[in-house]
Amino acid sequence: MIEDVVELSSQLVAIDSVNPSLVDGGAGEAEAAALVARWARDNGLEAQVLEDTPGRPSVLVTARGSGDGHTLLLCGHLDTVNVEGMADPHTPRIEGDRLFGRGAYDMKSGVASALIACREAAKLGLAGDVVVAAVADEEHASLGVQEALRAVRADAAIVTEPTELELVVAHKGFVWAEIEIRGRAAHGSRPHLGVDAIVKAGPVLSALGALDGALAERTHPRLGRGSVHASLIRGGEEL
């Protein structure tokens, strides 16, 4: 069975699925999703392709039970981050007991493991369903998992992200906020005609820093402190 996981992981790694929302021209998940759907059907499993966002498909793979049991969802993502600075990123290679290639760790091996587990579950005569959600866009806006959760209901779920073999039972959420500060461009010799939006951003940044400090004073027993930061700022036209 380990050999099957290695083989399927290698097939997935060999497919370029760089997230196009992160990298202009990224290949996206279409080819990887097609492989998952084809593999599932070849192994006697149901496969449903979801694609509310054109070009960003996810796949639900199901080992159908007898119908009177609980549903277990196994979830993993097909997209990867960029391949900048990597030599032959989509050529899987094994060195010792490790598989290398973009996405091998995060998280095509997790997807492969979930699919193999689903295949084996189909042989057990279970009462409930085992469903694998191989989703798009985890690395950006989680479009795929949102779509998957509209299509399947589960009693429990396991996300097969790499965790250094630790059992993870809690996870921080996140929110992105975009703040626009408007000004008026003017020449430096005519300041009365302008409004300096960059200077006005200063108090906003200071307030974010103060909020981060306040969050540090409250901690969660499993997740530690919350945090907020300014990850990107743009403004101005020229010197």
Q: Which residue has the tokens 């032959």?
A: 88
Q: Please check whether residues 126 and 204 belong to one and the same domain.
A: no
Q: Please check whether residues 154 and 179 belong to one and the same domain.
A: no
Q: Please check whether residues 147 and 180 belong to one and the same domain.
A: no
Q: Would you say the pTM of this structure is higher than 0.85?
A: no
Q: Please check whether residues 28 and 6 belong to one and the same domain.
A: yes
Considering only CA atoms, which of 212, 193, 4 is closest in space to residue 109?
4
Q: What is the CATH number of the domain that holds 142?
A: 3.40.630.10
Quick check: 233 pLDDT over 90? yes
Quick one: pLDDT at residue 1? 83
Q: Is 165 among the domain residues?
A: no
7: Cβ contacts below 8 Å, ≥ 6 apart: none
Using pLDDT thresholds of 50, 70 and 90, give the confidence band for residue 239: confident
Catalytic site residues? 79, 138
CA distance 133 to 111: 9
Q: Please check whether residues 107 and 199 belong to one and the same domain.
A: no
Domain end, chosen from 96, 125, 159, is at 159
What digits encode the pLDDT tens for the residues 138-176? 999 999 999 999 999 999 999 999 999 899 999 898 898
Q: Is 168 among the domain residues?
A: no
Q: Please check whether residues 224 and 147 belong to one and the same domain.
A: no
Q: Please check whether residues 231 and 116 belong to one and the same domain.
A: no
Q: Please check whether residues 114 and 22 belong to one and the same domain.
A: yes
What digits encode the pLDDT tens for the residues 76-118? 999 999 999 999 999 999 999 999 999 999 999 999 999 999 9
Q: Is 52 among the domain residues?
A: yes
Q: Please check whether residues 117 and 198 belong to one and the same domain.
A: no
Quick check: 238 pLDDT over 90? no
Number of domains in the chain: 2
Q: Please check whether residues 75 and 99 belong to one and the same domain.
A: yes
Do 94 and 162 contact (CB within 8 A), yes or no? Answer: no
Under DSSP, the state recorded for 52 is S
Quick one: pLDDT at residue 229? 96
Q: Terminus-to-terminus CA distance in the chain, angstroms?
A: 62
Domain end, chosen from 159, 187, 215, is at 159
Domain end, chosen from 102, 126, 159, is at 159
Q: Please check whether residues 131 and 104 belong to one and the same domain.
A: yes
Q: Please check whether residues 147 and 214 belong to one and the same domain.
A: no
* Residue-range definition of the domain harbouring residue 219: 173-239
Considering only CA atoms, which of 140, 100, 72, 144 is closest in space to residue 6?
100
What does the H/E/C string look like for 160-221? CCCCCCCCCCCCCCCCCCCCCCCCECCCCCCHHHCECHHHHHHHHHHHHHHHHHHHCCCEEC
Strand partners, 95: 98
